[in-house]
Amino acid sequence: NTIYRTDYTSPPFLIDTIELDFELEPQRTTVINKMQVRRNPEAKYSPKFQLDGEVLQLISLHLDGMPYKNVQIDETGLTLYEVPDAFELTITSACEPANNTSLMGLYLSNGHFFTQCEAQGFRKITYFLDRPDVMARYTVTLRANKTAYPILLSNGNLIESGDLADGKHYAKWHDPFAKPSYLFALVAAQLVALEERITTRSGAQKLLQVWVEAHDLDKTRHAMDSLIHAIQWDEARFGLELDLERFMLVAVSDFNMGAMENKGLNIFNTQYVLANPQTATDIDYTNIEAVVGHEYFHNWTGNRVTCRDWFQLSLKEGLTVFRDQEFSADMAAADAVNAAAARANQRIENVRILQQTQFTEDAGPMAHPVRPESYVEINNFYTATVYEKGAEVVRMYQTLLGREGFRQGMDLYFQRHDGQAVTCDDFRQAMADANQRDLTQFEGWYSQLGTPYVSVRTRYDEAAQTYAVTLAQHHKPAPNALQVVRAPLLIPFALGLVDTNGQDLALQLDNENAPGAATRMLELSAAEQTFCFINVRRRPVPSLLRDFSAPVIVEYDYTDDELIFLLAHDSDPFNRWAAGQQLATRTLLTHARQAENTQLNTHETNPALIEAFGSVLRNPTLTPAFRAQVLTLPTEAYLAEHMDEANPAAVHAARQNLRVQLANALSDDWFAIYAQHQTPGPYQPTPAAMGQRALKNLALSYLTDSEHTERTLHLAQTQYDTANNMSDRGAALSALIHLGGELAQAALTDFYQRFENEPLAIDKWFAFQARQTRAEMDVINVVRTLLRHPAFTSKNPNRVRALIFSFISGNPAQFHAPHGAGYTLWAEQVLALDTLNPQLAARLARLLERWRKFIPPLREQMHKALETVLASAQSKDVREIIHKALLSAP
Ligand code: ARG
Ligand code: ZN
């Protein structure tokens, strides 16, 4: 049951309008669905009409008002054997929201009704052509008990509402825009809203609402501000206006993903809406702004122009992630003293995530192109590749065409495709045509899987005063025995040359008459190309792939001294950071190999690295946020991925050792930084204040690894007691946990009591404990104990992610403990979730997909755990992941 991209055919029928009538009851909800259907003139004729439908009970079926009998029902839907060319179909069916633990379709959360339809949840609500290229106009009537469900919401505009007999009431909604079924949503709940009225650029009045449970109303301001900023930004940057009279955000506690862009009715995981200083960290504030922006931006990139089929998912996701990244960068820059630094900080954060998640995915059994070729379960393809690499692919258009050219491409895309369901090729064509540019070669970014490598050779000719840079692109063999046709990609490669005095050279290529810009966007389109710069008086240090101009891995043999030089001098802040990370990675990997073979000599380190990092730390011309980025070492998972065979214990020993070295060698600086970067006064989520807290809390975290235990303990305890915000209180708690002992226990107890009624804070309480790395702690047992805590439940995805996912991905050395108890825990939890929530179970299953990468004793035990899951897993979600993991080539 693999679905292939190349098997696409147009829908045999079209549905122009749909009227839905819901009688909402938790145990059994009845849905009357009246559709106007006609044959698609563009499709191959078929007498049969097949509708998607899952776990539904069919009650009645009428065609043009007459009972229809020539029908067959199976677990995937209905087949009507003989239908006219155009007709009205009325289907009455029932579903069971209270028994729906998958969180797809119509389900209950805290006793209230919510929906999630993307990708294929609508078929669990009613029978339909549940595919994105069937776009209909929806009119929705909701009926429910008025006391239990006073608020009834659906897409579009409210056209009618009133009371009914038996304590019920109703609301009727109409969405003027045709949309695919995956964008349908309803909410029936007891909620309150923060409201704002705004005027958009055409002068239209709009109503904005953020709907939450009453006790969360004090946590809605930031989401509302983010929404208003997103609306203004999309007008200013892309000329795109809000097209509905009202726009609603709704928070829900049980949600598989981050949020969902349902037309006019965006539904959010509470985690990405609710924030006040007491419960939310700086990172939460930042994420809320990004996700609120993301879902809002989908209104044009996703909803007005949607995907023809699910293989095109990156058409909307890659583009919308790119848009939310640009939004966040512009917002940070607007509020910052140093706009360029704020922007670079955003870029570093985005790339860090790409390198940690997407590069790993690309190297493993789930590797797939940005536009996948096949899938078993589409939910498994909401991936870092489709989202994050997809965003990099969109960014490259802007890099190649310039901001103006990119904007023209976007304008043409909407001119051509507004109201349509289209493909990634259509987007590329619009970019090409608007700029009179042939982008045929660019298709490779959509069709080829794997991370491209660009190896760089340089040659300085002192006599001729030339500096030749040769770029060669290649790939590692594809994992999972995947066959890929390889052709050279079009790679925008930004390059600068840094002179010995630390200044950028004005670059002049051998075919140019005068020196020009200091950063050159080289276009690498062949397998190998040489670019020759002239009038180069001294051997420079190359600054490669500035601002991460393409999602590739650069190979160049820098010396340590060159990396230290770039860290100190590169005019490109991104590459300064990258140089520091490369230097740290190099040192850490060497130490990890030592830790594996002999004993790691804990006194031996790289003094030049410590000195270089110390200079960054003390440099007042650098923003605190940037200094924090540089001083944050690569994660253990990232380092393990860079070993020939991953050895989590060795990586942990090496990283911990370097942390201790940095902590002790720079302890005076850390204490000074800690004192200087306090943020007194009321909490402010501005880039400047966030940067101060990031650096101060990084200092605290390093100090927990220093010799100054007592002094650090005192700082952490004081910070815990006096904090007026979650960033500081959370950082202090995690420092106390790391230091261990009675104070840690007391703080954990206090934290729990303080936030007993704040589920998102309790999630943090679970996560801090799951991530603790004290060598003498057996964290698997801590996790096992927490699984039995009354506040733990497998039914809430946030709670599962807080405890189980945080442990497995955030604590590799403990999870991969040699006895294999972590793997037993993993298998147990995957199987427990498999029947409850297949989508979440599959995400958890993926955490072992890289098993072949590990040292043999771990690999063998992981293999057994995978076999255990394979023997009992039921869902196609989990089975697809396990199959791919087991089949993957060594
Ligand atoms: N479109 C949503 C977003 O990117 C994600 C929905 C994912 N849903 C799923 N079932 N995989 O904001
Ligand atoms: Zn999205």
Pairing of β 86-95 and β 57-63:
antiparallel
For residue 119, which atom of ligand 1 is closest to its CA? Answer: 10
| Residue with CA closest to ligand 1 atom 5 | 260
Residue 684 has pLDDT above 60, yes or no: yes
Residue 27 has pLDDT above 70, yes or no: yes
Q: What is the mean pLDDT of residues 314-333?
A: 98
- CB burial of residue 597 (10 Å; 0-12, 13-18, 19+): exposed
Q: What pLDDT digit, counting tens, does each position of 271-305 carry?
A: 999 999 999 999 999 999 999 999 999 999 999 99
Ligand that comes closest to the CA of residue 318: 2
Substitution site in 100, 123, 257 for ligand 1 pocket (most atoms within 8 Å of beta carbon): 257
Residues near 733 by Cβ (< 8 Å), separated by ≥ 6?
720, 747, 748, 751, 768
Percent residues over pLDDT 90 in the chain: 96
Token digits for 462?
């002192």
Q: What is the mean pLDDT of residues 342-358?
A: 97
For residue 298, which atom of ligand 1 is closest to its CA? Answer: 12
Q: What is the mean pLDDT of residues 243-263?
A: 98
Find the 266 Cα to ligand 2 centroid distance in Å. 11
How far does the chain reach from its first CA to its final CA, in angstroms? 25
Find the 388 Cα to ligand 2 centroid distance in Å. 11
Cβ 377 under 6 angstroms from ligand 1: no
Q: What is the mean pLDDT of residues 216-223?
A: 98
What is the amino acid identity at position 688? A
For residue 104, which atom of ligand 1 is closest to its CA? Answer: 10
User: Under a CB-based contact definition with an 8 Å cutoff, are residues 468 and 461 in contact?
Assistant: yes
Question: Which residue from 826, 789, 829 is spatially nearest to 809, judged by alpha carbons?
Answer: 826
Provide the CA 785 distance to its chain's centre, in angstroms: 30
Find the 346 Cα to ligand 2 centroid distance in Å. 19
- The pLDDT-based confidence of 480 (bands split at 50, 70, 90) is low
For residue 294, which atom of ligand 1 is closest to its CA? Answer: 12
The rounded distance, in Å, linking the Cα atoms of 305 and 261 is 13
Question: Is the Cα dihedral 525, 527, 533, 538 positive or negative?
Answer: positive
Pairing of β 157-163 and β 168-179:
antiparallel
Q: What pLDDT digit, counting tens, does each position of 607-661 carry?
A: 999 999 999 999 999 999 999 999 999 999 999 999 999 999 999 999 999 999 9
Helices and strands (DSSP H and E) totals, the chain: 29, 31
Cβ 257 under 6 angstroms from ligand 1: yes
Cβ 260 under 6 angstroms from ligand 1: yes
pLDDT at residue 888 in the model: 73
pLDDT at residue 576 in the model: 98
- The pLDDT-based confidence of 145 (bands split at 50, 70, 90) is very high
Type and span of the H or E element at 648:
helix 648-665
Read off φ and ψ for residue 525, nearest 5 degrees. -120, -15
Substitution site in 100, 118, 300, 303 for ligand 1 pocket (most atoms within 8 Å of beta carbon): 118
pLDDT at residue 560 in the model: 97
| Residue with CA closest to ligand 1 atom 2 | 260
Beta bridge partners of 250: 211, 267
Substitution site in 382, 840, 877 for ligand 1 pocket (most atoms within 8 Å of beta carbon): 382
Cβ 118 under 6 angstroms from ligand 1: yes
Q: What is the pTM of this model?
A: 0.98
For residue 302, which atom of ligand 1 is closest to its CA? Answer: 1
Find the 217 Cα to ligand 2 centroid distance in Å. 25
| Residue with CA closest to ligand 1 atom 8 | 118
| Residue with CA closest to ligand 1 atom 3 | 260
Question: Which residue from 256, 244, 93 is spatially nearest to 154, judged by alpha carbons?
Answer: 244
Cβ 388 under 6 angstroms from ligand 1: no
Find the 287 Cα to ligand 2 centroid distance in Å. 14
Q: What pLDDT digit, counting tens, does each position of 443-477 carry?
A: 999 999 999 999 999 999 999 999 999 999 999 87
Find the 179 Cα to ligand 2 centroid distance in Å. 16
Cite the active site residues: 295
Q: What pLDDT digit, counting tens, does each position of 493-550 carry?
A: 999 999 999 999 999 999 999 999 999 999 999 999 999 999 999 999 999 999 999 9
ipTM of the complex: 0.97
Ligand that comes closest to the CA of residue 102: 1
Cβ 120 under 6 angstroms from ligand 1: no
- The pLDDT-based confidence of 603 (bands split at 50, 70, 90) is low
Ligand that comes closest to the CA of residue 120: 1
Find the 361 Cα to ligand 1 centroid distance in Å. 18
Read off φ and ψ for residue 849, nearest 5 degrees. -65, -25
Residue 481 has pLDDT above 60, yes or no: no
- The pLDDT-based confidence of 558 (bands split at 50, 70, 90) is very high
pLDDT at residue 601 in the model: 67
What is the amino acid identity at position 579? A
Find the 283 Cα to ligand 1 centroid distance in Å. 21
Cβ 259 under 6 angstroms from ligand 1: yes
Cβ 295 under 6 angstroms from ligand 1: yes
Ligand that comes closest to the CA of residue 268: 1
Place of tokens 């405890």: 803
Ligand that comes closest to the CA of residue 255: 1
Ligand that comes closest to the CA of residue 258: 1
Question: Which residue from 598, 603, 538 is spatially nearest to 565, judged by alpha carbons?
Answer: 538
Find the 96 Cα to ligand 2 centroid distance in Å. 28
Provide the CA 790 distance to its chain's centre, in angstroms: 30
- CB burial of residue 241 (10 Å; 0-12, 13-18, 19+): middle
Cβ 51 under 6 angstroms from ligand 1: no
3-class DSSP state of 775: coil
Residue 867 has pLDDT above 90, yes or no: yes
Find the 871 Cα to ligand 2 centroid distance in Å. 34
- The pLDDT-based confidence of 605 (bands split at 50, 70, 90) is confident
For residue 317, which atom of ligand 1 is closest to its CA? Answer: 4
pLDDT at residue 401 in the model: 98
Pairing of β 246-252 and β 205-212:
parallel
Cβ 430 under 6 angstroms from ligand 1: no
